[in-house]
Structure 1
């Protein structure tokens, strides 16, 4: 089963290329090595590195893919995803909180990966159906149920990784096949 997902060197390379400290508020940067969530303001967090790593491995991002990053926050996961897809791919991060959109955009711009961007989420809309379908969708906030509107944004062979009601799910197409991958806690997903 392990060979179905990204080898450790690709994910580790993304982490080395885009250290967490560059995506934290100045007051939190000294704690960047802490393996736990850190506040980025507005009741949002920069996720625990071990959790982000596990999610990226489950997501199995490939060069050249189109990826949606829901709950982009500080831009860290968007930058990691951009590294994994490379210049032939595209990453769209969506974030609901306007100040975090600006913070994430600034942080992402510093990584010099113009094939990735962060936009403000439209209220009442999960993801961004205007640019669907996506090969991969990463969700860094927790809904109470699996959002069918995000499943609908997956390509025919797409994969989504999302924490739902405390359980990390990997959803694969065709057929929206769901597998469970441990218990996690995230901030609530708002639309």
Structure 2
């Protein structure tokens, strides 16, 4: 099997594993060479069942499986799980010509896939706090002129308006500045995690001034520098003990209101609520 054939077989397997419905997502995963973004082999792959790493061989075809590859094993920093992001890219519906903001671009692999999805008429901006990763991502993304990387320090102020915002790092509460940066019709995927890196993926859909919110499933992910607060993480952890309430989420409320039984996670100036949008 050639490398191109391995890449296509990998993408087709993601179609089945993640129930991808958009052919464009499958084609994007088949088009992007993963080996460009993880350095020379052999590579260290994370076994989720053992919570430990194992070593592949030097053949780039080893990368075309649904595995996480270490970028910095000492920090537990990996590329994301391909099937996870294939699923979410498919469900969030990234269209040609859209503007996508990626929080935490890493070495740029998923940035390149997003660039394939928005095409030549769209744009993808990746924000990265790690100097070495940001520099590597800028080099790695040279074949995709519609993608760029900005080095940021912690909780970066978001400039401009974006059709899609996807965070690849966990915050302890919904960053309101990100949500304010969504265009009408915009969508956001934001991991909300406890200090143990585990939590859920919050999906936001903006219609006018209304913000629909729902849980898009469990996630374990690297923490977002500058967007961690111990009290918020503790409150989130307590709310995660109510999975029925999480499944019933309907909205992100910004209005001033007293906490009641429709509030799943009530914060300062925001609330993840079971309250139906009007």
Question: C-alpha distance in 2, partners of 1:66/1:73?
Answer: 19
Aligned CA distance change for structure 1 residues 37 and 154 (closer, same or farther; 3 Å): same
Kept in 2, the 8 Å contact 1:24–1:32? The answer is no
Q: Does 1:50 find its partner at 2:83?
A: yes
Q: Does 1:120 find its partner at 2:151?
A: yes
Query: What does residue 49 of structure 2 align with?
Result: none
Comparing 36-45 with 156-165, which one deviates more in the overlay? Answer: 36-45
Question: C-alpha distance in 1, partners of 2:21/2:66?
Answer: 21
Q: Residue 26 of structure 1 is aligned with which of 40, 50, 61?
A: 40
Return the structure number with greater relative CO, CA threshold 8 A, min gap 6. Answer: 1
Superposed CA RMSD:
1.8
Kept in 2, the 8 Å contact 1:58–1:170? The answer is no
Q: Residue 212 of structure 2 is aligned with which of 157, 173, 177?
A: 177
Q: Does 1:129 find its partner at 2:143?
A: no
Summarize deviations over 1:81-116 as a string: whole Å, max 9, x none.
11101111111011000100011111111xx22111
Which structure is larger by alpha-carbon Rg, 1 or 2?
Answer: 2
Q: Residue 87 of structure 1 is aligned with which of 116, 120, 128?
A: 120
**What is the DSSP-based 3-state SS (H/G/I as helix, E as strand, rest coil) of the residue aligned with 1:83?**
helix
Gaps of 5+ in 2: 1-19, 44-57, 194-198, 227-278
Question: C-alpha distance in 2, partners of 1:139/1:188?
Answer: 10
Q: 1:179 Cα deviation (Å)?
A: 1.3
Q: 1:7 Cα deviation (Å)?
A: 3.5
TM-score, normalization by structure 2: 0.61
Q: 1:124 Cα deviation (Å)?
A: 3.3
Summarize deviations over 1:7-38 as a string: whole Å, max 9, x none.
33110100011032221122327542342322
Q: Does 1:77 find its partner at 2:105?
A: no
Question: C-alpha distance in 2, partners of 1:135/1:124?
Answer: 20
TM-score, normalization by structure 1: 0.87
